[in-house]
Structure 1
Amino acid sequence: MFKKKKKPLQSAARKLITVDNSKSIISEQFRTIRTNIHFSTADKELRSILLTSSSPSEGKSTSASNIAVVFAQEGRKVLLIDADMRKPTMHHTFQLNNGTGLSSVLTRQAEVADVIHEVGIENLHVMPCGPIPPNPAELIGSQAMKALIEQLKLDFDLLIFDAPPLLSVADAQILSNECDGTILVVNTGSTEKDSAVKAKETLQSANARILGVLMNNYTLAKDHYYYQYYGTAE
């Protein structure tokens, strides 16, 4: 049995547009992302997705959370995993205790079932990061991590990983090789083109399967909406 969240979902509703306003244009964009992911993997069942960015503060964690929500709304049993052992945020978004989590399981300080939480959204479960370890990259690249991914696939239809930025540390590059697909989040208002290109090349060097690029903070000239655009990484 997974841990059930006792408090109603509040902070998540402020950050997760797909929960707070499922009929908004932004929520529709996330559903479009979901559809495009399906089309991009028509020849193979997608069981694990990693979201990362070139630099911090590009919106990857919020994007990962919203994508997890729309897949859960589709009826798939989803586990959102905070694999950012440098600056974890999922426990804030979903009001969870971060005393134990992914790092605890990888260091054999906790059992898997004890760090997976129901968060008040049907079909969606969350595994927080847990205590920040001194050796995140080593834990991400360990045999324990590979075994955990295979174990979790037995209980969930889809695993979604929120990973650290690519150009800062090696964690996302390592984990991308273990996932079925990777989405690169780019902030159109701040990300430099060279950084985005370098991030893509970093993923390619890891033999990651790049599903596409999620353009964040894009504004429609007429209606001034903030929304997301998903496209292939050519």
Structure 2
Amino acid sequence: MDLRDYYRVVSKRWRLITAVTLLVVALAALFTLTSPKVYQARTQLFVSTSAGADSTQLLQGNTFSQQRVKSYADLITTPAVLDPVIKELGLDMSADSLGQKITATVPIETVLIDVLVTDRNPQSAANIADAVGKQFSASILDLERVSDTSPSPVKVSVVRPPSVPTAPISPNPVRNIGLGVVLGIVLGLGTALLRDTFDTSVRSERDVKDATDETVIGGILFDPDAPKHPLIVQSDPHSTRAEAFRALRTNLQFVDAAKHPRSIVFTSSLPGEGKTTTTANLAISMAAAGARVCVIEGDLRRPRLLRYMGMEGAVGLTNVLIGQADLADVLQPYGDTGIQVLGAGQIPPNPSELLGSDTMSRTIRQLEQMFDYVIIDAPPVLPATDSTVLSTITGGVVMVAGCGVVKKEQLNRALESLETVGGNLLGIVVNRIPTRGADAGTYYYGNGYAPLTADRSRKQRAKDRQSASV
């Protein structure tokens, strides 16, 4: 992954990253509030030796103190020092337990010992630090005395007596919240990357290209107003989506130019990917360019094409296939566009058998002689075999991939089904491309090459309808 991939993940999953970060920060705040307060008292000891008369003896005494002080820091937490402290203060604990509260350190190249005492009670921390300092001074006099008659050459003095701490050292709200923010962002990014890795949904044209090597011949932006106005090429011919259908029409003219397929099946992997609206809008675009177009409602299970086009279809394709009607009698003109529509007719119990019959093949050949393009709106590939059957008797297949509907593995399975039967895949149309976010598609249109979005298209349609009413 490069920086653009990370940026895309962050842009797409920023809500998840924010939620994880806030959760970790909340846990850090809860930990801070519920953790007991710990206070720390400090005392500092100075180790000295008996001074000599000349500089040589002074230097030797200083070297002796520096060597000794390293061992003294370890002696502070021994029972020899702490047992008297426990007895003096009346503490109900052992020397080992008290030693865990005490930390003794020696600054480099000094004869000083810093003694730090932590306790939940600030006064107790100060009392223990004071008692340890005094007791250690007395213990060193006994330990360093060679005999009862000779004094100890080492003296430990308290140079910084402890004071009662006013603020706890733990928990530290600023540190805990800061760590929570950092840890939350890291966990949020990790969660977002993990989810993006395992998310196989098709959400953009890029995802389709990652899933398959097949050619993408068109991209249609998502428009939530599409169910109300499915024929965007007719209702708003200057919109971005209408221009995308015209671009798809142009691209189809150059796909498989050697064979120039005249009958094309439009299908998808699953229902709801927009194959029917794509079929209808493309047919209108082709007719607007002067082509003779016939649109067949080939979905004999859940036909919707005639409903989108505002037409009735009591008789249609099924009546032709079973010999109840002639082809010329069931073709319906769609307005003054030059498009002829062949509806599905009555829903049969055996759609796959009818669509794969010799009669269907002859019907398509007959229509190819009558029109420049025969476009068939077929059922999705995965729920039914109708489209794979049609792909064997037509010139080619166009797969519509709906962003946010189909997954990569489902798209691949549908493509493999067409490949298994030898279907001629002309390309993939990516539909429902997001207009916002990391997966948004950018399309430019117009004299000024200004970017148009679905929102702008809806506003323009509203203005057009308002002008028409006036």
Specify if TM > 0.5. yes
Secondary structure of 1:200 counterpart: helix
| Aligned match for 2:454, one of 200, 222, 225 | 225
Match for residue 268 of structure 2? 53
Contact 2:297–2:377 (8 Å) recurs in 1: yes
Letter in 2 for 1:205: T
Match for residue 328 of structure 2? 113
| Aligned match for 1:135, one of 325, 336, 350 | 350
In 2, Cα distance between the equivalents of 1:97 and 1:64?
18
Contact 1:78–1:123 (8 Å) recurs in 2: yes
Letter in 2 for 1:225: A
| Aligned match for 1:94, one of 297, 306, 309 | 309
Alpha-carbon displacement from aligned partner over 1:84-121 (angstroms, at most 9, x marks no partner): 00000122122222210000100111111111001114
Match for residue 124 of structure 1? 339
Alpha-carbon displacement from aligned partner over 1:36-57 (angstroms, at most 9, x marks no partner): 1111122122211100011111
In 1, Cα distance between the equivalents of 2:228 and 2:247?
20
* Structure 2: gaps spanning 5 or more residues: 1-226, 441-451, 456-470
Contact 1:181–1:210 (8 Å) recurs in 2: yes
**Do residues 170 (structure 1) and 395 (structure 2) align?**
no
Alignment length (residue pairs) = 215
In 2, Cα distance between the equivalents of 1:169 and 1:108?
24
Of Structure 1 and Structure 2, which has the larger fraction of its residues in helix?
Answer: 2
Greater shift in the superposed pair: 57-66 or 216-225: 216-225
Which runs of structure 1 show a deviation greater than 6 angstroms over 4 or more consecutive aligned residues? none
Shift of 1:220: 3.0
Contact 1:219–1:225 (8 Å) recurs in 2: no
Contact 1:47–1:180 (8 Å) recurs in 2: yes
Match for residue 229 of structure 1? none
Letter in 1 for 2:378: A
| Aligned match for 1:27, one of 235, 242, 263 | 242
In 2, Cα distance between the equivalents of 1:39 and 1:187?
23
Match for residue 9 of structure 1? none
Shift of 1:13: 9.0
In 2, Cα distance between the equivalents of 1:40 and 1:52?
17
In 1, Cα distance between the equivalents of 2:371 and 2:301?
25
**Do residues 84 (structure 1) and 302 (structure 2) align?**
no
In 1, Cα distance between the equivalents of 2:381 and 2:238?
33
In 2, Cα distance between the equivalents of 1:42 and 1:131?
36
Secondary structure of 1:61 counterpart: helix
Secondary structure of 2:229 counterpart: helix
Match for residue 3 of structure 1? none
**Do residues 14 (structure 1) and 223 (structure 2) align?**
no
In 2, Cα distance between the equivalents of 1:111 and 1:183?
28
Match for residue 42 of structure 1? 257
Secondary structure of 1:14 counterpart: coil
Match for residue 185 of structure 1? 400
The verdict on how the C-alpha distance between 1:68 and 1:35 changes in structure 2, with shifts beyond 3 A counting, is same
Contact 1:13–1:20 (8 Å) recurs in 2: no
| Aligned match for 1:75, one of 290, 295, 316 | 290
Match for residue 6 of structure 1? none
Secondary structure of 1:19 counterpart: helix
Letter in 1 for 2:454: Y
Match for residue 231 of structure 1? none
In 2, Cα distance between the equivalents of 1:83 and 1:54?
15
Shift of 1:224: 4.7
The verdict on how the C-alpha distance between 1:195 and 1:121 changes in structure 2, with shifts beyond 3 A counting, is farther
Shift of 1:225: 3.0
The verdict on how the C-alpha distance between 1:115 and 1:216 changes in structure 2, with shifts beyond 3 A counting, is same
Shift of 1:81: 0.1
Shift of 1:14: 2.6
In 2, Cα distance between the equivalents of 1:48 and 1:199?
20
Match for residue 232 of structure 1? none
Alpha-carbon displacement from aligned partner over 1:13-49 (angstroms, at most 9, x marks no partner): 9320011111111111111111111111221222111
TM-score (norm: length of structure 1): 0.87
* Structure 1: gaps spanning 5 or more residues: 1-11, 227-234
Match for residue 4 of structure 1? none
